[in-house]
Amino acid sequence: MAIPSATNTADDPVWAQLLQEARVAAESEPVLSELIHESILDCDSLEASLAHRISRKLGHHAVSEPYLHDLFEETLKANPEIGQQARKDIVAIDERDPASRGYLSPVLYFKGFQALTAYRIAHQLWKNNRREMSLYLQSIISQVFAVDIHPAARIGSGILFDHATSIVIGETAVIDDHVSILHEVTLGGTGKARGDRHPKVRQGVLIGAGAKILGNVVIGECARVGAGSVVLENVPAHMTVAGVPAKVVGVAAEDPAGCMDHNI
């Protein structure tokens, strides 16, 4: 699958809308025009834009920005599914986050999206046995975005990390497609045992701010976890849990991840 170019936006509606929003923003806020041009308008695809924006954020540490840019661009070109996942993430953010005003904000400003995109690159490097580089990226992503995702974790598409600060996702965690997670959520283990030890979050789940889900437990499809809850056992599909420790307190909405209703 070829990476879409800026001259063929009809086949890439996310990139087309992002370009349009960027043009309007550059004109209305001239002081940010250079940022918008170099991050979006001077790029020939969403993948090129992401490579530029994320490398600019994560560079200037032990590994230079130019090296990261080339590494990210190469990885995105070789693995077009990452770009498709990013597109679904952008759409999900705009649909679910009332603070979003289109596609421009996630790409330029939202650290949840940027951290998730950087993780996706690190995850591919992990699968390619570039373990040291992927762990290095995990460390820098955590420092810059305050989001700590082990590169071996498996995360689907259409994901919203709302605010995202202090999200922690362990090595053997799995997050299916179409999931919404608020800030300060932990998908962690329960001790020092190795092996499959982290949560599995199924499609349609909403996890409220500050929730801690610990151990190799399953959060069933379209379940809802209340803010501040501590989950130590499996959560049935389509149920709402809350409390410390979390208990079933009711039936969840049909699509918790999409409706984003946190009222228990």
195 burial (CB, 10 Å; 0-12 / 13-18 / 19+) is: exposed
SS3 per residue for 22-42? HHHHHHHCHHHHHHHHHHHHC
What residue ranges define each of the domains in the chain, with the CATH number in brackets? 1-147 (1.10.3130.10), 153-264 (2.160.10.10)
Q: What is the chain's pLDDT, residue by residue, as a tens digit (264 residues)?
A: 333 344 457 799 999 999 999 999 999 999 999 999 999 999 999 999 999 999 999 998 899 999 999 999 999 999 999 999 999 999 999 999 999 989 999 999 999 999 999 999 999 999 999 999 999 999 999 999 999 999 999 999 999 999 999 999 999 999 999 999 999 999 999 988 899 999 999 999 999 999 999 999 999 999 999 999 999 999 999 999 999 999 999 999 899 999 999 987
Cα 154 from chain centroid? 11
